[in-house]
A and B are shown apart, each in its own frame.
Chain A
Amino acid sequence: MSPRVSMVVNGRGVEADVEPRRLLADFLREDVHLYGTHLGCEHGVCGACTVLVDGEPVRSCLMLAVQADGGEVTTVEGLSRDGGLHPLQEAFHEHHALQCGFCTPGFLLTSLYLLRERPDLDDEGEIRAALSGNLCRCTGYQNIVDAVRDAAARMRQDSPTTKG
């Protein structure tokens, strides 16, 4: 039995018949062809597959596609707007916060949620703790931390009303 699931991914409605056991990550990658969501461990530790479901970050390797039925999903492909880079993406680029880029989508989505929740975030220790659920093997994290802090500042600049 393959139930039909439908959800909104990056603002676009998608529908498919999927086995109940199909992981959300595989659904996004293989059925919706959004390969930016990467599978790094499939047991919830590395964070590479992090996406937003109904605005909250989740491990898409630990969620079944059927569980996202009726939900709204944001992947890395949904981050940039109008062809331009999101301030987080810009900051990652400028701070050399990515090397191989495999973990990057997970960091971006974790950070996107983080900065929505905490637009005032500036403390390095807090940023490091908040990013500790995402593993990176290339950068030693320092440039990622700097990029997130810088992006927070840029986003505050862009929308001063969200301050505080």
Chain B
Amino acid sequence: MKPPRFEYAAPGSVDEAIEILRDAPEESTLLAGGQSLVPLLNMRMAQPRVVIDLNRVSGLDAVERTPDGRIRLGAMVRQRRLETDPVVRDELPLIAEAARHIAHVPIRTRGTVGGSLAHADPAAELPATVAALGGRLLVRGPNGDRAVPATEFFVGALTTAIEPGELLTAIEIEPPREGAGWAFGEVARTHGAFALAGAAAVLQVGDAGQIASARLALLGVGSAPYVPEWLEEMAVGEAPDEPLFRRIGARVVDEIAPLDDIHASADYRRRVAAVLTARALRDAANRSNGRGSG
């Protein structure tokens, strides 16, 4: 289990990386944290001609607030930092919580935000979480920058809207409104293993006790994060109670098409999706406006 030969480039800037990528976009692979790519190299399931290592590219590892109030996470921000960075913890606690479910600390110290999003594993935590938060992904290519909403970014299993020759530079997320609650939950065979299914939710309870806004995304239940677009319509104005959350869960079940694998049946994933949906919405509601234990 040793990697095949490849040419190695360690550009110092994004533009330089794009320049190298331009030469052979189909035969090149970007190396971010390497926690998915290097196993594939070791198994020789990936045999790129060129590996472009982004770890020496400057400017991709910042966590910052944009002038319009979003939080921008550079593509090379390590997953471990999502747990510890005060800005992320304060403004995007859902991301900080989801990050704790990604594998294990020695994976997260290398694994990056951009790597996870661009790899787009259907069982990964960050794609669904960014989708639940309505984030957008900044992609740069030979023709400049473009922003892609998360809901359009994840096209399928291991497939994104990134075109050959482009690379993901950052994501931007608007922090949920003051008082919004959040929750993340998943089930896995063992602690830190790939999720069988998971759910991320953001929910705000209004002053009158009704749901003011709600967003939800599920992982592991299809080829890409599942975001129920009908959720706001169904939930806003309703009381945040168990019957509602169960109805939402039931509707989720009707709309997802998970697959069987050796770890769990499609039916299992469907049923657990309903459970995790209801739990995430309930926990998010409990956290909203300082309700519950927060």
Indicate if A touches B (C-beta under 8 A): yes
A residues with CB within 8 A of B = 1, 3, 19-21, 23, 26, 42-44, 47, 50, 56-59, 61-64, 66-67, 110, 113-114, 128-130, 132-133
Residue on A nearest B84 in the bound complex, by CB: A117
With a cutoff of 8 Å between Cβ atoms, the chain A residues found around residue B104 in the complex are 47, 132-133
In the bound complex, CA of A132 to CA of B10 (Å): 33
Is the pair A63, B110 in contact by a Cβ cutoff of 8 Å? yes
**How far, in Å, is A90 (CB) from chain B's closest CB?**
23
Is the pair A23, B106 in contact by a Cβ cutoff of 8 Å? no
Cβ of B12 within 8 Å of any chain A Cβ, yes or no, is no
In the bound complex, CA of A44 to CA of B55 (Å): 19
With a cutoff of 8 Å between Cβ atoms, the chain B residues found around residue A43 in the complex are 1, 39, 42-43
Tell me how many residues of B have a C-beta within 8 Å of chain A. Answer: 30
Is the pair B109, A62 in contact by a Cβ cutoff of 8 Å? no
10 A-B Cβ contacts within 8 A? Answer: A42-B2, A43-B43, A44-B35, A56-B106, A62-B39, A64-B38, A64-B53, A110-B105, A110-B106, A132-B192
Cβ of B256 within 8 Å of any chain A Cβ, yes or no, is no
Is the pair A21, B4 in contact by a Cβ cutoff of 8 Å? yes
Among candidates B42, B51, B107, B190, residue contacting A42 with C-beta atoms closer than 8 Å: B42
With a cutoff of 8 Å between Cβ atoms, the chain B residues found around residue A42 in the complex are 1-2, 39, 42
Cβ of B179 within 8 Å of any chain A Cβ, yes or no, is no
> Which B51-89 residues sit within 8 Å CB-CB of chain A?
51, 53, 55, 80
Residue on B nearest A60 in the bound complex, by CB: B106
Cβ of B8 within 8 Å of any chain A Cβ, yes or no, is yes
Residue on B nearest A132 in the bound complex, by CB: B191
6 nearest CB pairs, A to B: A133-B104, A20-B8, A132-B191, A57-B106, A42-B1, A43-B39
In the bound complex, CA of A26 to CA of B51 (Å): 19
Is the pair A62, B10 in contact by a Cβ cutoff of 8 Å? no
**How far, in Å, is B102 (CB) from chain A's closest CB?**
11
Is the pair A23, B110 in contact by a Cβ cutoff of 8 Å? no
Is the pair B5, A21 in contact by a Cβ cutoff of 8 Å? yes
**How far, in Å, is B285 (CB) from chain A's closest CB?**
26
Cβ of B6 within 8 Å of any chain A Cβ, yes or no, is yes
With a cutoff of 8 Å between Cβ atoms, the chain B residues found around residue A130 in the complex are 105
Among candidates B3, B34, B105, residue contacting A21 with C-beta atoms closer than 8 Å: B3
**How far, in Å, is B147 (CB) from chain A's closest CB?**
30
In the bound complex, CA of A3 to CA of B43 (Å): 23
Among candidates B4, B80, B191, residue contacting A129 with C-beta atoms closer than 8 Å: B191
Cβ of B41 within 8 Å of any chain A Cβ, yes or no, is yes
Among candidates B7, B38, B80, residue contacting A61 with C-beta atoms closer than 8 Å: B38
